[in-house]
Each structure stands twice: as C-alpha cells, then as structure tokens.
Amino acid sequence: MEPFRRTGGTGPSNGPSRGFRHYRGNRKQRKAQGAQGPQPQKPNQPPQPARQFNAPFKRYDPKQVRLEQARSKSQQGKTEQVKSLIEKAIAKNGKKEITVKEGLRREEGFKPKKGRGRGRLGAPTPPPRTGTYKHKPYLKTGTDSDKLTVSPKQRLKVIVMGGNEEVGRNMTLMEYGDDIILIDMGLMFPDEDMPGVDYIIPNVSYLKGREKNIRGVIITHAHLDHIGGIPHLASMLGNPPIFATDLSCALIKKRQEDHRDKPPLNLHAVKNSDMLQLGVFKIEFFGVAHSIPTAMGLIVNTPCGIIVHTGDFKLDPTPGAQSLQETAKIKELGQRNVLALMIDSTNASHPGHQLHEYEIQHNIDDIIANSQGRVIIGTFSSMIARIQQIILACERQGRKVAVEGFSMKSNVLISQELGYIKVQKGTLIDTKDIHKYPREKVAIICTGAQGEERAVLMRIANREHPIIEIEPGDTVVFSSSVIPGNERSVQRVTDTLYREGANVVHYKMMDVHAGGHAKQDDLLEAHKMIKPKYLIPIEGHYSFLVEHAKAAVRGGFNQNNIFIADNGQVIEFDRHGVGQLTNKKIPTEFVFVDGLGVGDTNHVVLRDRQELAGDGIVVVMAVVSDRTGKLLQLPDLISRGFIYMKEQGELMGQARKKVAEILRDDDPRSGANAVYLKEKIRNDLGEFLFRKTERRPMILPIIVEV
C-alpha cells in the first residue's frame, strides 16, 4: 500500500493517489451543472490547478467573528436604505401605488416646514391658531422707509397691544424716551377652535425689562374687555399704579378677590375733572356715553402733541344716558390741534346713529306694564344703568324685583353702595321669596342673555333652577344684542322658552337694547368735533377698522392720514407733528389663561385637544422584553371618543392583532427600542384604522419593557 502523502501535485495523477483532490469549483455550481447534465469539456483547455494552502492556519476567534457579522449587518442596512430611497422615488413619480398617509398629505396640500411636528398617521399637521390670524398677513400696511428726522429717543411710539384685530383684550401702549403709560388691560373670550381655554389676555413680553419705565395704567371703564387682564398682568409688570373711576376701582378690586395668590393692586380713584402727570405724559379726562356708568375718554398731552383715546363710546347727550357725556369738553378739543384720534370702531360697519337710552326706557316700561305673568329679564351684569332702568320701571308698576346670578348680585351691591343704583325700600326681595307674591307682581333680573350654559336664564329654561320655573304667560326679555359666535346658544334657549309657553322679546322684535358703541354717523360727528390731524381706528376686527376708514374718507378726511394698524404695529410721531405707520412690530400672540395656568397652553396643547375632539383617542398598551424586544402578551387597546368598543369587538380584535404584527421581533438578539416602536405603532395602526373606519384618532402607544 502506497504511503500517505501530504503534498498535492500540480500535474495529473497516475493512479489512485491519496493526496488532495483537484479543485473542481463551487459545490453549488457543481450541483447546478449536475442538474443540467454533464457539460462537454472544451478542447485544448488546461487542467484545473489544485488549491494551494500557503497561508498559516487560523484559530477560531469569537471577537473577530462578531466584528465581521456587525460589518455584514451594517452593509445590509445600507442596502435596505438605498432600496427604501428607490421605492420612495418610484412612488413619488407615480409608478407605484401611494399609501393612505401619503395620499392624505397630498390631498391636504400642506408642505411642512423644517422642525414642524407630525400628527395623526405621521402626516404633517398645521399648528392651530395662536394669534388673530393663522398665518401672518402677506400684505404690509405700513412703510419701511423712515420719514422722521429725529432720533428714536425723541419719537412718540403708539402701539395697540390688543383689540385691533378682534373684539376684546383691549390694551394700548404709549412710549416716549424712558416713560411708558398703558391704557386698559382687557381680556377676550376664546373662539370655538380653542377648546379648554378660559380667556385670552394681551402679550406683554415687549415690556419685559421695561417694568421700571411704566408710569401708570389708566382704565377707561370697567367692562371685562378692558379690565379682565389686570389680575394676571399687573403682577407681571411690577404692580404699577392703576388709575380708574370709583366704580371701576370697586369692580377691579372685587375681581381681584378671585386671585388671592396675587399681591394687592395699587389702585387710585380719579374723576373726570382730575389731571395726572405721569412722566412726560399729562393726562386729562372727559366723560363719554357708554353702557356702564363712569366711562371716560383720555386726553394725553405728549411732547409730540395731543393724543385723544375715546375708549368705548357712543354719542348720547340725553339725560337718560347710562354714562354722562361731556359734550362741551369734547367740542373744545376741536380748538386744541389734536395730533391723533384713537377712536372706537366696534360698530363702524353699521350705518346711522346709535339708539338713545330714553327710547329703551319707554319700551321697558311698556313691556312691564302690559305683561300678565312674571317678567324675567336677561342682561349683562356690567350694564349697571340698564339694571337701574328695569328697577325704575318695576317700581312704577308696583312689582318686586329679585336679582339672580352671582356677578349680577355683586355688581348691584357695589353700585348701590357707590350711589349708581338707587332703589326704594322694599323693592328688592330674595329669590326664595318670589312665591309669596302674585306672579304679575314679580320681576327677575338675571344673567344669561348670551345663552351661557350655566347662566341663570339657561338653567331656568331647562328647569334646572331650584326655585324659578317658566309658566305659560310669563314674559322673557333679552335686553342685550347677541355677541357674534353666540347665535346658536341664544337660539337654543329661545326655542326652549317658547316650548315652555313664555312670551319672548328681544332686540330684533323691539328696541329693548341700545348698543354702547357709536355707529358710522356718530363716528363722523366725533371726527368733526375733535378735528384731529391723524385718525387711528381701534377696537374691532380688521374689517371694522377698514369700514371706519372708508366712512371717514367719504366724510372728507385725508386718506393718507389714516393709520389702520395691526396689533403690535408701531406708530411713530415726532415733535413737528409728523406721523408714520411703520412695519415694525412687537409680539402680540395670544396668551391663554387655562384654569390656574397663564401662558402654559401653547399650540401643541391646542393641537392635541383639537385632535381629541375630532376623532377621539386609542391607547395601545404592549409589554415587551427589554433584552430581546419580544412581545410577551397580546396588546391591550382602549378607545375613547373613537368607537364604542362593546359594539366594535371585531375591529378591536383586528387592531390588536395588527399591533402584535407590528411588534413582531425580527431580530431576537437586539433589545427593544421604545421610541422606534411607538412611532411605528402610530403610523401603521393609524393607517389600518383609517382604512377600516375613515377616521383618524390620536394614537397613544405605551410600551412597557420587562
């Protein structure tokens, strides 16, 4: 027997050699060739050489093996990434069917900006409105060129910080050098697209670092759209002195009692005959007619000229006006070369003159005299003079009056103490005593004329009030106009009252309410009395300001001297009486008050609330292994506002299986990545639910790693 040889030859063997065999190619290739049958050998082909083993023998190294596996996995990941990019490109070119998520994005036509969050199904979601407009206006209304020749320190800045693009949150700033005064600090009630928000106040971030320059805050009257922001803003601004009439001070102080965590206010009562010196500003006052007593306008003497601020007003010189109008003082302004007039525009879109209060008094007298049953009158709690009119009419007919509603009772009590409401002894009775008198001898003054859900009038209509009920023959009077946005609520309560058999009277049927804001003809008359060089419409939606400007131009005012400013837009004047509306702006975004929080409700919170209100929420709870990422049990789903789970058991079962499929672990050697898994659940489950229901609920995944 031939001995064993360890060396392999390169030539053909001459017999059954026990050395290494010739190299015959890859085993898989040989099998494939065997399946295809024997391949004919090509002529003159040299024989295959035997394999050479010249490299030294390598031992098994586990670290080296793991390193090579990692490199292979990385290369595989890059390959998958390239494939994904190719697939996206194909889908973009329309050669592949697009997903529901991509289709929705294309249909909405929204192109996300860099850094913007993503919403349901991972699709880009536009942020909710956090200012008057959802997007900044495209057209500029001011000028970029500077036609004033003086330095910035010698210019008077007039900035409307709130109220010029909405109705409410009125606030105006005047600044000269290191002196600042503020006029009003109001609030605005939220719109329907702001769920959960209590109200909105002005943004005072411009004044941060300038608190020591604030010489004072002047309040024109005590309506909430002019005083509602004081409890929150006064402490932010270093608690500056606040100047207002005695009634306004009393109502401000009463409201401050609801904010016991805030420091006491620095309140100072003033009269129309007083004069204030606040830094370089000298302030005078004049009485105006409005729907609350002691309303006043301001005459601000500045180094650049006189600025007149009317506050809320209408022209009503008659004795029955709710607030005394000082017509002689207003006309004197026409002789004082007023530089600019900042004037109320809330009713500028309505032609004609505003009703006088004596006309309302006659109609209220007629209603109370001719009503057979009880008379229930709903109005604003701040309309002190209207309450006085109702009490006088009831006294003339021998009716007892019950006042119902917390704010209504508080305001009546304060007004009685200050002498703005005068009542005969025995006229006012407690609500619980109304059943002691005949129905035709009782009248009730209450809140709820705007259809507020928990106000007194709504509770009476829904038979939820513990004492007062509607009976056929009763008369219900809405002594206020409907605030835009409240039409549906007012209509619902009106329908309910009709079903109860009540006779309903409102301002469209007869004049039971006179607005507190001047109409177009009143505004033109005010322009002629004051004769300003520049006109600055304030307090109203942008369209109201434009209508005011158009009416002024028709009345002969120079169009070039009318400044229609946005909130925060800077108006400048110099000592020569030259003014300009610039394109410079200060921050005026909404500051939301939500419960005890001020400013902590932002666009992210509002967006989540809108999504919850739209299609509800689905909570996904899954338990996975933290070492391997393996799903340990079938996921649980909880739905609120999306579907009724008891009737949609099959869908929820499919959704649970879908989540289990999403969480299937393809690589048991790697740990769980909770962030990745949550995002994948949001996208894939969201698309699955949309295909099944055409709804897009908020999906909240909860991954528990054990």
Spatial CA neighbour of 293 closest among 267, 264, 268, 271: 271
DSSP 1-58: -PPP--PPPSS--SS---SPPPP---HHHHHHHHHH-PPPPPTTPPPPPPPP--SPP-
Segments of the chain assigned to CATH 3.10.20.580: 615-705
pLDDT tens figures, 48-71: 555 444 444 555 566 666 667 666
Q: Facing residues of 174 across strands?
A: 158, 181
In the structure encoding, which two tokens stand for residue 184, read together?
């009003």
What torsion do the CA atoms of 658, 663, 665, 667 make, to the nearest 10 degrees? 130
378 with 446: CB under 8 angstroms? yes
Q: What is the pLDDT of residue 668?
A: 59
% of the chain with per-residue pLDDT over 90: 36
553 with 158: CB under 8 angstroms? no
The counts of H helices and E strands in the chain are 17, 26
Residue with tokens 């600019």: 340
Q: What is the pLDDT of residue 16?
A: 44
Roughly how many angstroms between the first and final C-alpha of the chain, as a whole number? 67
CATH number of 357-505: 3.40.50.10710
Q: What is the pLDDT of residue 141?
A: 80
Residue with tokens 């606030």: 171
Q: What is the pLDDT of residue 514?
A: 65
Q: What is the pLDDT of residue 509?
A: 52
Q: Facing residues of 283 across strands?
A: 276, 300
Q: Which CATH architecture has domain 152-353+516-594?
A: 4-Layer Sandwich (3.60)
Q: What is the pLDDT of residue 252?
A: 94
Residue type, 117: G
In the structure encoding, which two tokens stand for residue 601, read together?
């409700």
DSSP 612-679: HHHH-EEEEEEEE-TTT--B-S--EEEEESS--GGG-HHHHHHHHHHHHHHT--S-TTS---HHHHHH
Q: What is the pLDDT of residue 288?
A: 93
- Measure Cα distances from 462 to 49, 458, 483, 546, 607 in Å: 103, 6, 22, 42, 33
Segments of the chain assigned to CATH 3.40.50.10710: 357-505
Q: What is the pLDDT of residue 74?
A: 62
Q: What is the pLDDT of residue 49?
A: 52
Angstrom distance (rounded) from CA 313 to CA 325: 9
* Positive or negative: CA dihedral 489, 492, 496, 502: positive
Backbone angles phi, psi at 273, to 5 degrees: -85, -5
Q: Which CATH architecture has domain 615-705?
A: Roll (3.10)
Segments of the chain assigned to CATH 3.60.15.10: 152-353+516-594
DSSP 517: S
- Measure Cα distances from 289 to 357, 522, 670 in Å: 10, 12, 77
Angstrom distance (rounded) from CA 508 to CA 232: 38
Spatial CA neighbour of 514 closest among 479, 564, 468, 550: 479
pLDDT tens figures, 414-427: 999 998 889 999 89
* Positive or negative: CA dihedral 76, 82, 84, 90: negative
206 with 199: CB under 8 angstroms? no
Q: What is the pLDDT of residue 10?
A: 43
Q: Facing residues of 186 across strands?
A: none
Angstrom distance (rounded) from CA 449 to CA 653: 49
Q: Is 432 helix (H, G, I), strand (E, B) or coil?
A: helix
DSSP 97: P
Angstrom distance (rounded) from CA 19 to CA 297: 116
Q: What is the pLDDT of residue 662?
A: 80
Residues of the chain with pLDDT under 50: 1-23, 35, 42-43, 51-56, 94-96, 101, 104, 106-124, 510-511
Residue with tokens 């009419």: 393
Q: What is the pLDDT of residue 11?
A: 44
Spatial CA neighbour of 167 closest among 489, 514, 524, 538: 538
Q: What is the pLDDT of residue 568?
A: 93
Q: What is the pLDDT of residue 108?
A: 46
Spatial CA neighbour of 363 closest among 252, 214, 509: 509
172 with 160: CB under 8 angstroms? yes
| Burial group, residue 184, by CB count within 10 angstroms (0-12, 13-18, 19+) | buried
